[in-house]
Structure 1
């Protein structure tokens, strides 16, 4: 089999980047060459894995997007604690400003990708991209590209509940279209910008719908989700999308996780707590959970996040602003998570039950899937009850059926050939394109 050179990139969000890296590691193991293309701050992710790296032209980034996002999160922290439907009703001018910034980010990143692909020194056989919107640059250049949908896959099932609603597949269908309308209305500004960018490049035939935050495949696309949890009961999924049961990257740090000294002699089970990069930016929210969990008889590893220095941990806790998550998950008894798809997949792959506290977007869908498939519990920020959360922890440990279901899912993920098959599909597409040209 010939060796191909892949350009790999993703939007500047850690979950998307991690999924793309997991896929890239498998492509590299199959004998292909990986060139990770992103902002200079992510170079170390490529170097660690033996990938080539090409940085984006930093002159296209017109603002410090990390600061913009933190300010946006601060101004809307109360909104993220609302029921998903309420979250998208009556969008304020401040919130629209945040959506405008997101839309402009897509335009800027498209420009950065276009500059890479326009450079005649850069030769690629194919692109693997996780971009969450249609990008004109992909259609402008002749190189074959494959989208990766690293968020939850509910949007691929048109007959299922609305994507990012957190509605059960068994919920009242009469409410579904109202939620979809709220999503479209709330994202009108970001939709306007993305469609304007497509029109400006002569691509008005390409549509963008915020009920499906992604692009349709040029040939085939991929998503990652365990077969045991996929939404097959919702009828056929969108054509040309293929499931990969898991994309679990190598640990970010090579060192093994060792239980911290202050926890070694503490009683109880070991639990990992993380609300992801967005949720953990709300220091007051994380502190609220720390105060609740400090009343538990168990011990905790806390991922404190970017503002972790503001937090005060309980005596039954250890934490850092950044923890080596994959190594930690392997060594704990339970994961309490926001339900971001990457953490969700990693937790199941390592056979750990979970309690999901959704904060935004597809996290609500994953939280409800945990409930519908009886592998854990969902705790909502909008009706947070201290005793309920503490009881959920005990209920997980006392329920052997939950433990057994999670272990079975883990085993099926590990035995899956879906990633190997996905790589073969990609190789076949490249071969066919080369033969036709």
Structure 2
């Protein structure tokens, strides 16, 4: 097949961005060209992996470093809301997010037609939670990537997206859906008015995007899939069984204490790193335990002093190269962290704060691959006990080993690249 151009448009967050990088690497391995449509603040991320990236304004234009800080400041402003349940976050964090996301779709519509005309892609992959009409109207196949929790594609038998409900809690599902739709209605009405202006049909309440008629790629692996009332048809929905990118090798440094003890990795992602008080508390607990730990503190390294000798902090880690070498992970439930732990067979303690972290935390526990812990309401002894369980629970280890073997046999990025190539042939 002659070389084709595949454009990727992930949302401006490291999880979707780096997941798309993994698929783009596999697309180029097949001899095609991958390019990125990017929030201006993320252009350098894609260029760092060797890809061409074209800026698309998703908000009022501003300098790139200011743009990169926008979501960081947004998240940090909501830290008090991280103590709330998913239900009680609907009328603050969730509402503010959807307001910003709808604004981003309106801004994108100004730039996208011109950028697409310049790039002339043969296929467009969009990893976002909202429709960009210009992509649907471009005239080439488009693929939706669901790098968040699988329940982003709704089904009445599974928990609503962002709810953190257990799969069997039907009463909780109904309560969350009703509250979400009540709070979101004015934002949804505004979005439907925008869709009408672009010639698109209105969406039903609560819906901001649709499944692609061409193909939809889900990151969730088979062992944690939800039991749907209406299973997704394989000709339009494919599960990638995780999608782990290639990253630079990482050599675990020597620790000043407990250098022969089990190794933990702690990360709340680039945005969650702003919750420095929580990370300091976790570091203090680990400092008293017979383990070693690598802790991702993001851009806040200067706020940490007196780090215990069995802990090493850094502003960034090549996570897919780190996780295979550790014994357990404490993370926020972001989808890359969630699927990478499963892919490498590592038990996780998930302390969610927002978005689908709540769903992934519930799912990791109800499928026996780790534990869900509240973000703040725990004692030092409770955290120590959960870490010990991660290291010693034989049933959990067996389940993780089976899940890891299943996922690694699939090669998600290569599977995705072949599917995309098939759509272009």
The normalised TM-score by structure 1 is 0.87
1:411-430 aligned within 5 A: 411-416=405-410, 420-430=414-424
Which of 378, 383, 388 is the matching residue for 1:389?
383
Aligned length: 419
8 A contact 1:60–1:111 mirrored in 2: no
Which of 138, 143, 148 is the matching residue for 1:141?
138
- Report the counterpart of residue 7 of structure 1 in structure 2: 7
Q: What is the RMSD computed on CA atoms of the aligned residues?
A: 2.6
CA shift at 1:414, angstroms?
A: 1.1
Q: How many Å separate the matches in 1 of 2:189 and 2:154?
A: 25
1:264-319 alpha-carbon deviations (Å, 9 max, x no partner):
75352100001112321222222222223323221110000222321233332101
Structure 2 unaligned residues grouped into runs of 5+: none
**Which stretch of structure 1 is more off in the superposition, 174-183 or 190-199?**
190-199
Q: How many Å separate the matches in 2 of 1:48 and 1:102?
A: 26
2:195 matched to 1:201?
Answer: no
2:212 matched to 1:217?
Answer: yes
- Report the counterpart of residue 26 of structure 1 in structure 2: 26
Q: How many Å separate the matches in 1 of 2:184 and 2:253?
A: 44
8 A contact 1:302–1:317 mirrored in 2: yes
Q: How many Å separate the matches in 1 of 2:25 and 2:69?
A: 31
Structure 1 unaligned residues grouped into runs of 5+: 432-437
8 A contact 2:257–2:309 mirrored in 1: no
Which of 303, 308, 328 is the matching residue for 2:322?
328
- Report the counterpart of residue 109 of structure 1 in structure 2: 108
Q: How many Å separate the matches in 1 of 2:158 and 2:72?
A: 33
Q: How many Å separate the matches in 2 of 1:50 and 1:163?
A: 34
1:92-115 alpha-carbon deviations (Å, 9 max, x no partner):
5x9855643333223223333233
**Aligned CA distance change for structure 1 residues 353 and 47 (closer, same or farther; 3 Å):** same
- Report the counterpart of residue 277 of structure 1 in structure 2: 270
2:184 matched to 1:191?
Answer: no
Q: How many Å separate the matches in 2 of 1:123 and 1:266?
A: 53
CA shift at 1:380, angstroms?
A: 1.1
- Report the counterpart of residue 261 of structure 2 in structure 1: 268
**Which stretch of structure 1 is more off in the superposition, 78-87 or 101-110?**
101-110
Q: How many Å separate the matches in 2 of 1:68 and 1:52?
A: 23
1:7-39 alpha-carbon deviations (Å, 9 max, x no partner):
112111111111111111121122221112224
Q: How many Å separate the matches in 1 of 2:419 and 2:259?
A: 50
CA shift at 1:259, angstroms?
A: 2.4
2:241 matched to 1:245?
Answer: yes
Q: How many Å separate the matches in 1 of 2:138 and 2:174?
A: 37
Q: How many Å separate the matches in 1 of 2:410 and 2:228?
A: 22
8 A contact 2:243–2:411 mirrored in 1: no
Q: Secondary structure at the match of 1:273?
A: strand
8 A contact 2:23–2:416 mirrored in 1: no
2:369 matched to 1:372?
Answer: no
**Aligned CA distance change for structure 1 residues 117 and 169 (closer, same or farther; 3 Å):** same
Which of 211, 221, 228 is the matching residue for 1:234?
228
1:228-287 alpha-carbon deviations (Å, 9 max, x no partner):
1111x2332455322111211111xx3x32222334753521000011123212222222
1:180-227 alpha-carbon deviations (Å, 9 max, x no partner):
122223434543443232122121x142654x6643213221111111
1:136-159 alpha-carbon deviations (Å, 9 max, x no partner):
111332122111111010232512
**Aligned CA distance change for structure 1 residues 60 and 7 (closer, same or farther; 3 Å):** farther
Q: How many Å separate the matches in 1 of 2:267 and 2:83?
A: 16
**Aligned CA distance change for structure 1 residues 291 and 103 (closer, same or farther; 3 Å):** farther
CA shift at 1:392, angstroms?
A: 0.3
The normalised TM-score by structure 2 is 0.90
CA shift at 1:415, angstroms?
A: 0.9
Q: Secondary structure at the match of 2:79?
A: coil
1:163-184 alpha-carbon deviations (Å, 9 max, x no partner):
221111133x122111012222
CA shift at 1:320, angstroms?
A: 0.9
**Aligned CA distance change for structure 1 residues 283 and 53 (closer, same or farther; 3 Å):** same
Q: Secondary structure at the match of 1:277?
A: helix
**Aligned CA distance change for structure 1 residues 194 and 296 (closer, same or farther; 3 Å):** farther
**Aligned CA distance change for structure 1 residues 189 and 342 (closer, same or farther; 3 Å):** farther
1:45-78 alpha-carbon deviations (Å, 9 max, x no partner):
4445443333446996258444443343333212
CA shift at 1:430, angstroms?
A: 2.6
